[in-house]
Each structure stands twice: as C-alpha cells, then as structure tokens.
Chain A
Amino acid sequence: MTDASQNYETGQHPDLPPPLSEVGILGWLKHNLFSSPLNTVMTILAIWFLWAFIPPVLDWMLFDAVWSADSRKECWALMEEPEGAACWAFIKSRFSLFIYGFYPEASRWRVDLSFVLLVLAVLPVLVDKMPGRKFGLIYAIAFPFIAGWLLVGGLGLEPVETDQFGGIMLTIIIGVTGISFSLPLGILLALGRRSSMPVLKMLSIMFIEFIRGVPLIALLFIASSMLNFFLPPGTVFDLLLRVLIMVTLFSAAYIAEVIRGGLQAIPRGQYEAADSLGLNFAKAQILIIMPQALKISIPGIVNSFIGLFKDTTLVLIIGMLDPLGIGRASLADADWSGLAREVYLFIAMFFFICCFGMARYSLYLEKKLHTGH
C-alpha cells in the first residue's frame, strides 16, 4: 500500500501525515515560542527571567521561611542567613488581630457567626440552582441588618464600640455594605440621569459628576472632619457609619455610569414594546429594561465592586484599622519591626484572592447569561 513507486490517478493520492515539526509538542513550540527571531529572543529572555526570579522568591516565601518563632531575632537565628527568608511566625502571632482588629475576645463568636451568615446569604445570590432560592434571597436582603445587630450589639447583646472594629472584618463590613447598597442606589441614579424630568436629571448629573470628580480620600476626610458641622448640634454620628455612607455614595456614582452605559445600549423598540403592552414605568423597568441593561453592564459593575473593595484600604488614612492599618501598627512593635515585606505580602494575598475571585465569577456570569450567537 505505502509503496513509494506506486502510481496514483491525479488527485487520488492519500493525505500524507503532516511533518513532525508542525504537530504535537514540537509544532506547538515552533508556532508559539520560536516563530521568528524576535520571538526566539523574547522567549529566551522570558525563560531567563523566570529562572532568575522564581526560585529565589519561592525559597524566600516557602522553603527557607520560618513558621514559628517568638520574635524577629529568634526568626532570623533559625535561618541559614539572617533576613534571608520570610518570617511567617510574625503573621501567625498576629493572625487574630489581622482578622478581628480589637474586637473584644469574648464576643468574637459574633463575628464568626456573622461571617457564616454572610456566606449563607451570598450563596443563594450567586448560585441559581440552590433549592429554596426565593427564601434565600429574602434572607439576603435581611442579612445586613441581622449582621449589623450581631456586630454592634444592643438588644440583648453586649454593645461593642465600632472603633474596636478592625482587620479583615472591617474590610468585609465596608465592602459588603458598599456593594449591597450602592447597586440599588446606582440604578436609581442611572434612571434619574436618563429621566425626562429636568429636575431629577439635573440633580442626578450634579451628584454623579461631583462624586466622580473628587478622590475618595477627600470624601473620607469630609466624613471624618467636616460632616458633623452639617448635623444638628449635639448629634453623635458614628465614624464607621459615616465612612460606610461615603463609600456607598462614591461607589454608587460609578455604578450609575456603568448602568447608564447599559441602558443606552437597549434599543428604543424595547421601551416601545413595553409601552404597547400597557406596562407602567416600574413594571417596564423591572420586567423588560433592567434585566437586559444589567446583563450588559455586569463586567463594569463587578469592576466597580472590585474597585470598591480595594478602596476600603483608604480608611487607613483617616485612622481606621483595616488590615493595612493593623499591619502598619504591628510593624511598630519593637519585637517584630522590619518585617514589612511579610505583612504586605500577606495582605496582598488576601486582596488578590477576593478580587480575582470576583473577576472570575463575573466572567462565568457573562458566559452563562450570554444569549447571543
């Protein structure tokens, strides 16, 4: 059959296998790494970079690192060369501080419980195949108030001052509150900006453009130093609450712009179709317009949420102890000073996991809701 001398009619020759250099690993390498001289140089540079960079970092982070010690000196004594590797014992000894801040130890079960409740509230929102999802959603709406009661206390629980809140717990409180309240507010603002009523439209535009024009830091300064001038004399207004309101308003303005983009992409025919069905404004929005507009704006909305979550670190500047604040305060401890890299890396890891997770979920959601062709 495979006799080379065999003659075939024109066009009857069976297909030959592709040359070895074009398929399999070799072909892949040729096409993806060495397709041109420039590519070859870049590949070699990249390999050199990885080889020079990855092993020392892994050594520093994992293989040579010290996991349990009582002080920096002890840590360094355990290493082959002092200061040559990470000292995770520091993070370990401060772990509860990083999680709870200065929340009273006796009441920390309330934080844990709130976290479990948070997971239970988030699950029905994220997973749409949950049994009993409807009740889950109602519970999710009630959750912020339950958690607020659990964390702050009162009504039978021992009250905890909010200036004792700190660490990752504070980040999650600000992040979750901001996310859950800024979305509805953002939708309202976007509708206001597209409204045919000039007063509402103007107010929305002024609000959105003002907030988007100034840095969050300035707004937080206002919250911490200036806001009490606007309140009736003698009012005591909790700092955390002021920050929560500012962060929510800030994020709502950005989300409003994202949703406005989504609304603009909805063809006029959709509004007219809703009108011709006799739906009133609210029903048309809830049943026809918003499901489509929100679907388009998902990537933008999630990006705003990620931005909000990262921006929670700014409360450090007005003196609240988020993980970064706790880290900086811990570095002032004479026993452990000089271990900044470990602290920053640990906090960076926390934020990376949260934000990357959100970004991935948004990609998944986009794919799931994609009904185009």
Chain B
Amino acid sequence: MAAISETDTGTSNPLLRLWRDKETRSVIIQIVTMVVILTAVVLLLRNVVINLEAVGKTFSFDFFFYPAGYDITFSPIIEYSSRDTHLRAAVVGLLNTFLIAICGIVLSTIMGFTMGILRLSSNWLVNRLVYCFLEFTRNIPVLLHILFIHGLVVTLLPVPKNALVFTDSFFLTNRGFFVPLPVWGPTAWIVALGLAAAIVFVFFFARWAKKVQDETGKIYPVFLISLGAIIGVTGLAFLAAGMPLTWSYPELKGFNFKGGLALKPEFIALWLALSYYTSCFIAEIVRAGILAISHGQTEAAYALGLRPNRTLQLVIIPQALRVIVPPLTSQYLNVTKNSSLAIAIGYMDIVATVGGITLMQTGKEMETMIVVLLVYLSISLVISAFMNWYNKRMALVER
C-alpha cells in the first residue's frame, strides 16, 4: 500500500489510481486472468458432465480390461491376438510407436549427417544435387511422402511368389520385407548378463581412463578396449550358455511367407518416408553447426600441432555438437510426433490403436484421447529433460 501513496498519479479517483500503479495493476491483471480461466475451466467441465450424461456415457477407464476384438497385423515385439484386452492393444501400439520412432531416428541421423557433410563438399555437382534433393523433399508435406512411398511399395514390388531374394533368406515382396528372426533359447539370460556386465565395465573403464588422462596425460585406446570387452565378454557368455540361438527363416507357404520376421509394407513405407523427410532438416542443422565453427579453430589446432583427424575429433566436432544437438533433439521429437501419421496407411501405432479403433469400438472419446495425449506429453517431457541436461553439460563455461 505504501507504493500507492508514494506515486502521485494526479487523479482523485481511487480506482484509477490503483490501476496506474504498476504493481497493483499487475496483481489486478493476474487476478482477473485467473478468475476468467478458472470460470472457463469450470464451465467446460460442467458442460462435459452434462453432455456425457445426456448421451449416457460414464467417465472410466474400465474398458481397457475388456477384450479388444480387433487384429493388429504388425506386432513384432509382443504377442497379440484379437482376444486380448484393449490395454494390451494399447501396449502394442505404444511399442510400435517406439519402434518406428527409434528406427526413424537412427536412419534419419545417418542420412542427415551424410547429406549435411555432402552439402559442405567443395564438389560443385554433388553439392547442387544434394541441395536440389533437400529443397524438393522438405517443401512437400510428409503425409504425401508417406502415401507415395506406401503406394510404391505396394504396387511396384513383386507378389510373394516372385519375391526378390537376397542370400536365400531375405525376401522383398509387396506384402513386406521378410527377414530371419533370431529365436533365443532358455539360457539366453546368461548372454544378456554378459552384455550388461561388459557395458558396466566399459562405463567405469572410460571414466577411469579419462581421469588418468586428465592427471597424467597418458591416453588409453578406450574405444578399442571397450569394443573388445563388449564383443569378448558377450561372446564368451554366448559360448558358455551353449549358444542359445537359432534362426527362424521365412518360407513361402501358399500365397505368403511364414516364419521369420515380416516387416510390413506400412512399416517400411513409414520408416523410409519419415527418415528421408526428417534427414533433410537434419542435414541443414549439421551443415549450419559445422559452418558455425570459425576457421580460426582449425588453424589454432594446427598451430598446436594436432593432426587433421585429431583436430576434427577434439576441436571441431565437440564444438559443432554444441550447436547441433538442441535442434537435433527437436527433430527427433518431430519424428516421434510425425509417426502418428501412421494412421493414414494403417500402421498400428498408439494413435491408430487407442485413438482409432479402440475409440470407435468403445465410444470413449475423452478417455482414449487423454491416454494418447499423456503418452506424447511424457515422451516429449523425457526428450526435453535430456536436452536440458545436455545443454547444461555442454554450455560454454565463460569467465
């Protein structure tokens, strides 16, 4: 209140005087906003209650435990049949979302970095070719790419009878890409244990090696030793467990292949289209990141006597990554969100299962959409948390 008496606003109207004081005004604005928003929320919720009652629906998630009654053609990670519950269908959808997101992220990163580096090439022709591809691809909606590639896969590839065969066990057809599937025996946990032990060892070894290098300057070949440890320990565990691995090969039975792993055309189309679309954006990010490092850094590294590959490894790449990683993470988030376009070609991800068929069968619009939204919000929160952690770690330490 003291603040008000100190400001002479030249008016006798007390309300106007309150409004003219900066701090009181901000309090008033906030209270008014709060009241408006709360009223709106209450009104909307009231509408929801009335509307749900009017159509005789209740708000509950019970339906998740009822049989789903629909098939999911592509469920490579866990078993699923139409007698399973909606919950299991949702899990299949979630796993499919993760699968396409991870595959898409890996492939788009590889393609994106390749094209970003080619864009920096001094070779005029290659540079222009990649530029044309990038400009053409990223100015066209990703949905169009997905539909187009799906169309190509379904119409251009041969029927299973005339499949394109690679090394007798890979078959490319318009029903999908059939590859051998590893089948693990009962003692496979020993191999997993060996791999986990090797990873733990590598983690601590890398920390120790870095400490030694910081203190004494002695450099250990960390990468080679780690690689050797992982391959060696896992291999030994594999032998010790009595080689618990057999392969299930796809075979032509009737009109389609049986056995092995069938990568459905929907999956292939979505994967390819998402990857090359996103890689165009990644290429630009990589190019900008490398260009952002001034040439003086290279010259300074040479002046210190570093060889070109050490310069790249120790000076250029760490600095470029600082510029590249934040926008790169948001591209990864985009791949995950764009994978929801799967519904257009019938790939069963979380939107297509929970937000699509389950919604239609149960009529639970509110509940299913809430689940879908929560899934995506959690994914994006995790990725943002990673990015903040990385930014904090990599931030320039300035004087």
Contacts and interface: CB of A to CB of B under 8 A. Distances in A.
Nearest to B52: A229
B30 A199 contact: yes
Contacts of B365: 225-226, 229
Q: Label chain B's interface by main secondary structure.
A: helix
Contacts, number: 148
A31 B127 CA distance: 14
Contact of B123 (A42, A355, A359): A42
B143 A313 contact: yes
B100 interface: no
Q: Label chain A's interface by main secondary structure.
A: helix
B34 A310 contact: no
B229 to A, nearest CB: 34
Contact of A229 (B33, B51, B381): B51
Interface residues of A, number: 56
B57 to A, nearest CB: 9
Interface stretch (B144-152, B257-265, B311-319): B144-152
Contacts of B139: 306, 310, 351-352, 355-356, 359
B30 A233 contact: no
Contacts of A317: 341, 343-344
Contact of B344 (A198, A221, A232, A316): A316
A47 B380 contact: no
A200 B366 CA distance: 27
Interface stretch (A91-99, A179-187, A340-348, A365-373): A340-348
B166 interface: no
A346 to B, nearest CB: 11
A340 B54 CA distance: 45
Contact of A50 (B26, B129, B151): B129
Interface string A198-237: 1110010000001011111110011001101111110000
How many chain B residues sit at the interface, stated as a range, is 35 or more
A229 B47 contact: yes
B30 A33 contact: no
Given A210-B377, A352-B140, A200 B147 contact: no
A32 B51 contact: no
Given A229-B47, A344-B151, A200 B351 contact: no
B141 A313 contact: yes
B126 interface: yes
A232 to B, nearest CB: 6
Contacts of A232: 47
A221 B143 CA distance: 16
A46 interface: yes
B142 interface: yes
Interface of B: 26, 29-30, 33-34, 37, 44, 47-48, 50-52, 54, 121-126, 129, 135-136, 139-144, 147-148, 151, 155, 337-338, 340-341, 343-344, 351, 355, 359, 365-366, 369, 372-373, 376-377, 379-381
13 contacts: A33-B123, A39-B122, A46-B123, A214-B380, A217-B343, A221-B372, A226-B365, A310-B141, A310-B142, A312-B141, A314-B341, A352-B140, A359-B139
Please name the 5 residue pairs, one residue from A and one from B, whose CB atoms are nearest each other, closest first.
A213-B380, A355-B139, A32-B124, A215-B337, A310-B141
Given A214-B380, A340-B155, 12 more contacts: A32-B124, A35-B123, A43-B123, A46-B126, A198-B30, A210-B377, A214-B372, A225-B365, A228-B51, A231-B47, A310-B139, A351-B141
